[in-house]
Chain A
């Protein structure tokens, strides 16, 4: 008798528990998968360091997506669990975190990092461990071919696509002579190179490029370098000094004549557009990946997403109106988690031995229609370059709020493949 029980994985105690009628009832009331081992996902989180403002919202979004997915039955009928591990926004620690999540926590895959240097520092280790590594970074490093077969970006478009798709609209609506202000490092160079190329292709001209060193905290002295004949000022900044930059830009132009101003929302991510000193932004334009302010035509999916994450109609936290979200980036965490679900279900993922099948299943993906999984909008995944493409928004500041005036097509941001990861070995 005893032998038979143990063969079925039953001990005396579970048998006793099981015979209690009340306990039996509660066991049936719980979701069926409460018995199954959970799928463990590792999240490489920028909880401290320079990326902490983004990391906090990435964590909230991941939690919200996790709750939604588990409420709907998990993945392959199994519950899902996320292990968060802080990487300090540092590439060295990032690689160690990949290691820890994979070998120590036994995660099935890893996702979530934003900052490019962390992604590039960690990707080799993910490749060596043969663990899928899904990044939410918007860097061009995936599609440029510098990473590996295990690294994919299915949740957010890259800078190259974002930037190139802006140029036609900017030239047609704002002006032909463009001055660019960007940070003097890799992220800024992607803007410089791809936007300049797109402007030239569209018949415009970039008349000045002002690169700002990464350690700068005040920008007053760079602003006089903007040529007077500038028709469009294109700005993108990241880091804690962004608000200073925009404010000083406002002081510089004041109420006097100024060119059209077009910015990347990165310059104001996690910052309230109605903050004092930003009044001059009225009438200027921004790229957004996802409209921070709820638009009149917001889809039901977007509304549900907003509620699940806890973001109000202005893009701030429902519990603190001053706590503005990183709305144009964090949807990528939500969508990536849903891609993970789709990929795992398509490949019948069961154990870590199926990791390769999972990657192949994601590579096979293509059209991703707008849905509860893809709340930012429809997307198209390129399995060869491991990069997703989607729509971009252009918003205008009206009454202190970002209102959408244009939505690009997916084709606007597409470019020729620079790599075919599917030909690489695992």
Chain B
């Protein structure tokens, strides 16, 4: 098999396995997997910015929440149906990422992290401030009758799983196509050596902005889907914890790999789930995992695999 065939086999294979999983897994794990797939979309978006282009943001919760509220408020305030609302969420995430990017991308490195963190904090406070429409810290539940795409009831387990899988597959394949396209190589060039790419005639600001907006689309879609599929829209999703989460997933799975974010989300989700069964101190487990990762496996699971011979991994 050529590298290209292997790549397609791997990714389409993953989607097929996930499709089959719903018939094999007990219901608890099937629903978990639906959650993990949606969260992986978020992490994939984070990976586009961080893993491929080197933009370490601490404000992605803002774009996730923008998607969630963009979706939720379109349902409740504008009276839209689920599908347009989902798209509204996607757009909201991308637009906000663009707005933040125009300002924040004037900085780099540590300053970029802090600026994105500040914007996200302001966004979180704004959600509380406009509590009369956002539900503030309590949030709100989109009515079950609104959580329908056509006759597909998203509050039922099978349609929910299928929609999560569909969005996940779409996001995964798009990401795969993106990173293998010429633009994807420019993104990596930006991460590796910004000066040299500038000299080659690329505009770093424009490229980073496009990347961040793409990343925002992913985050927005994930937020909108999470709110729609699981029926809750709330301001906690805009807190810093939810900016750190995708970073954790990406680092664990392997920054700059297409499947890494999914693997990371899967591993992290079950790490917390299992750890909380054994000990109350599962935050300690999370913290220790972070430190251990950055110390011993800075490239994550797939990054390590790639270094040990599976060189064709995208």
Contact = CB atoms under 8 A, between A and B. Distances in A.
Direct interface between A and B, CB < 8 A: yes
Contacts of B35: 96
Contact of A103 (B31, B141, B155, B236): B31
Contacts of B141: 120, 123-124, 146-147
Contact of A86 (B27, B230, B276): B276
Given A117-B137, A121-B139, A127-B144, A100 B231 contact: no
A35 interface: no
A104 B270 CA distance: 13
A128 B231 contact: yes
Contacts of A121: 139, 232, 234, 236
Contacts of B235: 117
A189 to B, nearest CB: 7
Nearest to B245: A92
A62 to B, nearest CB: 16
Interface string B270-313: 00010010001011000000000000000000000000000000
Interface string A112-148: 0000110011111101100000000001010000111
Contact of B231 (A117, A125, A186): A125
Contacts of B137: 116-117, 185-187, 214
A48 B131 contact: no
Contacts of A186: 131, 135-138
B80 interface: no
A189 B231 contact: no
A90 interface: yes
B280 A99 contact: no
A184 interface: yes
Nearest to A127: B144
Nearest to B26: A103
B128 interface: yes
Contact of B31 (A48, A86, A99): A99
B232 A120 contact: yes
A47 B280 contact: yes
Contacts of B273: 96, 100
A91 interface: yes
B283 A124 contact: no
Interface in B234-280: 234-237, 241, 273, 276, 280
Nearest to A141: B138
Contacts of A103: 26-28, 31
A189 B131 contact: yes
B126 interface: no
A85 interface: yes
Bin chain A's interface residue count.
35 or more
Contacts of B283: 48
Nearest to A215: B125
Given A120-B140, A185-B137, A189-B136, A95 B230 contact: yes
Given A85-B276, A103-B28, A128-B156, A120 B234 contact: yes
B280 A86 contact: yes
A168 to B, nearest CB: 28
Contacts of A146: 140-141
A214 B128 CA distance: 9
Given A103-B31, A214-B137, A185 B276 contact: no
A174 to B, nearest CB: 29
B131 A185 contact: yes
Given A99-B32, A117-B138, A125-B231, A92 B128 contact: no
A230 B246 CA distance: 49
Contacts of A213: 125, 128
A96 B268 CA distance: 14
Interface in A203-229: 213-215
A125 B31 CA distance: 11
Contacts of B236: 90-92, 117, 121
A128 B155 contact: yes
Interface string A70-107: 00000000000000011000111001100110011000
Contacts of B144: 124, 127, 148
Interface string A352-379: 0000000000000000000000000000
Contacts of B138: 116-117, 120, 139, 141, 185-187
Contacts of A215: 125
Most A CB atoms within 10 A — which of B131, B276, B282? B276
List the 10 shortest-distance A-B pairs measured between CB atoms, nearest first. Answer: A124-B231, A103-B28, A186-B138, A186-B136, A185-B137, A104-B28, A121-B232, A116-B138, A185-B136, A103-B27
Given A48-B280, A48-B282, A99-B28, 4 more contacts: A86-B282, A91-B232, A122-B232, A128-B156
25 contacts: A90-B241, A91-B232, A95-B232, A96-B273, A99-B31, A100-B273, A104-B26, A104-B28, A116-B137, A116-B138, A117-B235, A120-B135, A120-B234, A121-B232, A124-B141, A124-B155, A124-B230, A124-B232, A125-B230, A141-B138, A147-B141, A185-B131, A185-B138, A186-B137, A187-B137
Interface of A: 47-48, 85-86, 90-92, 95-96, 99-100, 103-104, 116-117, 120-125, 127-128, 139, 141, 146-148, 184-187, 189, 213-215
Interface of B: 26-28, 31-32, 35, 125, 128-129, 131, 135-141, 144, 155-157, 230-232, 234-237, 241, 273, 276, 280, 282-283
